[in-house]
Every structure is written in C-alpha cells, then in structure tokens.
C-alpha cells in the first residue's frame, strides 16, 4: 500500500510543518542540570478542586526547589466540557493559595516559547505527527461506528475478554487499500488509530518517581490518536505536548497509571524519550470507619471554592497540603514554626505511595495556628478580603471602620507575646465572632442562672458606677463591690471556703454582666469589651438586658 498517498488522503492539510521541524521550534530548554520542568494540565471545566491544588503544589515545589519551570497547559480537547472563564478561574484560585505559574496559558511571561498552551490551538502539530505515523505504517484509519464498537465490547464482556480494539477485534487494521478508499469516497467518518506494536506477552518495568518500580504489561490496544474531528485524544496530545514543552516530570493522578503502557508505546513510536512520571495517590477521607476517595458529589470540601467561601487561611491550606504531600513536613514545621514552607526541602519520592488522607479537622487546626500568628492588622486584611467577596451587607459596613475592627482583633487574638489566642479558624467564623460588637448584628438571647432580682440589681448597680476610663483592676474592684449587694462573695477565696454562706461569687456577678453585654457567658476580657463598646452602648446594653 502506498502509505504516503494514504496519509495525504487522510490528512490532506497542505502546509503542515514536517515533524522534525518542531524539534527546532521547541528546542530543549536551557535549564540547569536537575531542574524539573513541570506542568498543570487541567481541562477547562470550571471545576477546580483540591486534587488540582494538591498536584499544583507538588508541581510547583518540584520545579521551584530545583530551579526549574512550572507552566500551565489547557487540555481543551473536549469542547463539550468547556466552561467560559475556567482558565482565569484556575489561575485566580491557585494564586489565592500563593501558587503562581512561570509560563503558559494566559500567563504574561517572557518564557512563553513553548506554546500555544491550549491544545485546540496545537491541532497542526498533532496532525503532522499523525500523518508521519500513517506514512510509517504505525497508524491507520478506522471506520467502525459507535454501534459496531458497542457490539464488539458486548462480545468481549460476555466472553470475559479484555475489552478494546486489539488483535482480531481491530477490524480496520487490515482493511485493504480498496476498502479504505471506498470508505473515504463514500464520506464515512473515521478516526486515526495507533497500530500497536506491543504484545501482552511482554512486560516492562518502569520507575515511577512516587510509586517506585512498577511492572506493566505492554500495550496491544490500537488506541485512537486523532478523533473524527481531527482533535487528538488525551494520550496522543500528552505524548506530543510533554515532549515539545520539554516537561521533565509529569505529575498526575494515579488514575492515569493504567494508561501508562499506551503512553510509553506512543513515545516509542513517535521517537521521543518519555518524561519521568510521578503518579500521585488519590486524596481520601475517613467516612465513619472506612477510608474513601473524596467525591465531587458527596464532599463539598473537594471544591477549592469551598475554602475561599468558608475563609480558610490560604497559607494554612497550603501548609496542611504540604503535610499530606511530604509526611516529614510536619516535623520540619514544628522545628520552624515561623519558617517559610518554601524553605522546606520538598521531595517527590517522599510522597505517599497510596491513599493520601485529607482531614478537615487537621486543616482547621493548622488554620487556627496560622491565623493566630497574624498581627491584628494582617488579620484585618485577611478578613476584609473575605468580607468584600462573601460577607453580608452588614459585614461590609462594619469593616469600613478599620480602627474599630483592629481594636476588636487585638482583643480576640491577644496582643503579642506567646499567649496568642486561637479563636479564629476561618474568616467566616472570625467575622461572626465579632457580631456582638455591632448593634445591628447583636442578637442576644439572655439566659441567666440567677433570679430576676439578682440579675437586675447587678445590672443596675454596675451601670451606675461604670466608667470606661477604669483600668482592669478598677473595673474588677467595682464588680467586687456590687457582689455583696446580691449575696455573692466578693472574694473567690471566701466563696471557696464557705460556699454555703453565699448565693454565688464575684465571678457569677461578672457572668451576669457578660451575658448582658455580649449575649454569652463566654467572651474575651469583658472590661476591654466594654471599653471598645464605649460608655453609652455599654450602659444601654446593661439596661436592655434586664429581665
Ligand atoms: N487533563 C488531564 C486531567 O485533567 C491532565 C492529566 C495530566 O496531568 O496529564 O485529568
């Protein structure tokens, strides 16, 4: 068969560059020895998830700890799944977590010499190589319809055979020249398939950068490389793009491991040296007693938007993911509590070989710790950003008064020193913790442990003597002074010695005041709360809280 003629009939595009030309257009990168070139290659479906961030962090760390390059490629071969704005959303979401690309789609960079970075815009490159494979007898047209393929699959399933297009089932592999041209003439749609040279009798061992040595059976499937619309499949695009974008390390989910034999064969027939592969374990969660994969349907925490909306501190999410990526990060982090996670020596081969457990509780813990390290000003900026995007109208209004919020934050978080409070875990919750400092969001439900007369006497008496100029000890002396008026012990020591002599103690008096002013029996330092609220508002709360 005249394969050159066949290739021209199947891929008639005039002016396609010869394949070898691309080696010149995309020369090996000038990076130092050992530098990793990595990429994130999402489909623009608009759903950016924790797995993407997890991978992106591994890619970014692998590149940037070795002086390499991390780029963004958009795998948009499936037009149906494409969502407008998805690429910007990937970039924005990752940037929120402090992850930036050096190069790639929509990235303004002098390094952008290996594009286009959208697969749909690389059609000519794929076609040029598909044509070459046809000319070499390593690819052929397949005219099987979806129904015919279904039929084959049914037969294979019933006979408990491996499904797919291979061996005797690869019907179009042996079409005669006449049959091919007849089909073409009648306008039958066709795909281009690889003519696999492999055999399931052969095994090869390959070294995964995470999972170690893996022995796989050679591919014998005549996989589709170009679909009927001329767009490549993932397999074909992956081999060509990662070769010409000069990726050194392909970090991707372990769901691709089963396709690896196909990818190895494609690299071989295309004459490319395969990149190193690192297949990451899936993110898992505990569901009761069992461990299972995070699922889009069941777990809102799979979506990255979840973390932004709930207002987790972005650096905390990254640091927590670092502990999932490299188990020795936690130890490093304890030794370097104020260290930049970028100084940690990330190692791809230290990643877990199986199921990486993602635990929201632990993330919350890291988030509380990270937020507790912020100054009141930094915390204001963090909360303010959340409020601007997700806060209620009232929150936005409250945050216009920065000085007031900073005062509250100084109180809530503790000012300096070692004894930082760890009240705030997420922006949303931090903002809600401040509700009682504003009259429009102060919605108390007074629940006192004492009778009406006791409560009202404490409130009246204190309102009469409260002075916002009082420091902590003057303030407390006043609370002590009113305690005996309701039969409470003024000194805790007195009360502890003879509780039977008293209705309560000075701390019960303080609790009544606390409930009146904040709506809750638990709050940070009440004297400071009162001084932040000011005399008038404190007085009015004491009055309204009477029963
Ligand atoms: N587009 C593929 C995905 O989103 C990328 C896999 C890879 O990283 O090679 O799953």
* pLDDT tens digits along 284-334: 999 989 999 999 999 999 999 899 999 999 999 999 999 999 989 999 999
CA of residue 250 to ligand 1 center, whole Å: 10
Q: Give the residue, out of 41, 258, 275, with the most ligand 1 atoms within 8 A of its beta carbon, to mutate for a pocket test.
A: 41
Q: Give the residue, out of 76, 231, 252, with the most ligand 1 atoms within 8 A of its beta carbon, to mutate for a pocket test.
A: 252
405 pLDDT above the threshold of 70: yes
pLDDT band at 48 (very low <50, low <70, confident <90, very high): confident
Q: Residue of the nearest CA to atom 3 in ligand 1?
A: 42
pLDDT confidence of residue 424? 87
pLDDT confidence of residue 416? 52
CA of residue 73 to ligand 1 center, whole Å: 10
Token readout for 424 is: 């705030």
CA of residue 25 to ligand 1 center, whole Å: 24
| Strand runs labelled E in 300-376 | 356-357
Q: Which atom of ligand 1 is nearest to the CA of 255?
A: 10
pLDDT confidence of residue 420? 65
Angle between helix axes 360-372 and 314-325 (nearest 10 degrees) is: 130
pTM for the model: 0.88
Which of 250, 234, 230 shows the shortest CA–CA distance to 242? 250
Q: Which atom of ligand 1 is nearest to the CA of 242?
A: 9
What does the pLDDT average to over 409-427? 77
417 pLDDT above the threshold of 60: no
Q: Which residues line ligand 1 (CB under 6 A)?
A: 41-43, 75, 238, 252
Higher pLDDT, 240 or 79: 240
Angle between helix axes 260-270 and 123-135 (nearest 10 degrees) is: 70
Are the CB atoms for 411 and 528 separated by under 8 Å? yes
State the Cα–Cα distance between residues 209 and 248, nearest whole angstrom.
11
CA angle 65, 70, 74 (to 5 degrees): 155
pLDDT digits (tens, 9 = 90+) for 447-467: 999 999 999 999 999 999 999
For residue 144, give the 3-state DSSP assignment: coil
Higher pLDDT, 80 or 165: 165
pLDDT digits (tens, 9 = 90+) for 183-209: 999 999 999 999 999 999 999 999 999
Which of 441, 427, 440 shows the shortest CA–CA distance to 384? 427
Cis before 313 (ω within 30): no
What does the pLDDT average to over 492-498? 95
pLDDT band at 480 (very low <50, low <70, confident <90, very high): very high
Q: Give the residue, out of 38, 39, 40, 42, with the most ligand 1 atoms within 8 A of its beta carbon, to mutate for a pocket test.
A: 42
Cα distances from 113 to residues 25, 103, 239, 362, 385, in angstroms, run: 9, 9, 18, 41, 35
Token readout for 282 is: 């899936």
| Strand runs labelled E in 427-503 | 488-489
pLDDT band at 361 (very low <50, low <70, confident <90, very high): very high
Q: Residue of the nearest CA to atom 8 in ligand 1?
A: 252
Cα distances from 540 to residues 517, 528, 533, in angstroms, run: 9, 17, 10
CA of residue 136 to ligand 1 center, whole Å: 29
């Amino acid at each position: 068969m005249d394969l050159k003629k066949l290739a021209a009939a199947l891929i008639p595009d005039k002016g396609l560059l010869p394949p070898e030309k691309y080696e010149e257009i995309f020369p090996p990168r000038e990076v130092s020895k050992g530098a990793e070139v990595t990429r994130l290659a999402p489909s623009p479906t608009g759903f950016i998830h924790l797995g993407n961030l997890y991978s992106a962090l591994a890619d970014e760390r692998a590149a940037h700890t070795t002086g390499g390059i991390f780029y963004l490629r958009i795998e948009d071969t499936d037009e149906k799944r494409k969502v407008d704005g998805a690429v910007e959303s990937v970039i924005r979401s990752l940037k929120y977590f402090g992850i930036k690309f050096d190069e790639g789609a929509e990235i303004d960079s002098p390094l952008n010499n290996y594009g286009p970075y959208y697969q749909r815009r690389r059609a000519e490159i794929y076609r040029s190589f598909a044509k070459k494979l046809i000319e070499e007898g390593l690819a052929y047209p397949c005219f099987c319809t979806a129904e015919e393929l279904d039929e084959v699959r049914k037969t294979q399933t019933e006979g408990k055979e491996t499904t797919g297009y291979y061996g005797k089932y690869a019907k179009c592999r042996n079409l005669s020249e006449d049959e091919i041209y007849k089909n073409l003439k009648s306008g039958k749609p066709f795909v281009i398939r690889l003519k696999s040279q492999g055999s399931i009798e052969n095994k090869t061992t390959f070294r995964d950068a995470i999972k170690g040595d893996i022995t796989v059976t050679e591919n014998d499937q005549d996989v589709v490389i170009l679909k009927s619309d001329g767009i490549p499949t993932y397999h074909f695009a992956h081999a060509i793009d990662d070769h010409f974008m000069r990726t050194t390390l392909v970090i991707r989910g372990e769901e691709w491991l089963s396709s690896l034999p196909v990818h190895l064969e494609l690299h071989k027939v295309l004459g490319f040296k395969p990149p190193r592969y690192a297949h990451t374990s899936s993110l898992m969660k505990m569901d009761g007693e069992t461990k299972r994969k995070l699922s889009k349907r069941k777990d809102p925490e799979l979506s990255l938007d979840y973390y932004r909306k709930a207002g987790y501190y972005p650096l905390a999410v990254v640091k927590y993911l670092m502990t999932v990526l490299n188990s020795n990060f936690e130890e490093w982090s304890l030794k370097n509590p104020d260290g930049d996670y970028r100084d940690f020596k990330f190692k791809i081969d230290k990643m877990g070989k199986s199921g990486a457990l993602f635990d929201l509780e632990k993330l919350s813990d890291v988030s509380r710790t990270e937020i507790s390290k912020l100054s009141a000003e930094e915390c204001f900026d963090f909360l303010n950003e959340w409020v601007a995007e997700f806060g209620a109208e009232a929150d936005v209004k409250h945050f216009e008064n920065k000085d007031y919020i900073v005062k509250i934050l100084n109180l809530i978080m503790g000012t300096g020193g070692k004894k930082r409070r760890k009240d705030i875990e997420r922006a949303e919750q931090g903002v809600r913790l401040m509700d009682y400092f504003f009259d429009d969001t102060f919605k108390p439900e007074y629940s006192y442990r004492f009778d009406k007369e006791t409560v009202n006497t404490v409130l009246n008496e204190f309102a009469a003597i409260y002075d916002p100029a009082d420091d902590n000890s003057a303030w407390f002396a006043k609370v002590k002074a009113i305690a005996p008026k309701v039969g409470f012990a003024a000194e805790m020591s007195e009360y502890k010695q003879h509780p039977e002599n008293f209705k309560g103690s000075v701390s019960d008096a303080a609790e009544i005041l606390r409930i009146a002013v904040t709506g809750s029996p638990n709050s940070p330092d009440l004297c400071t709360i009162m001084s932040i609220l000011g005399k008038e508002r404190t007085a009015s709360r004491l009055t309204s809280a009477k029963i």
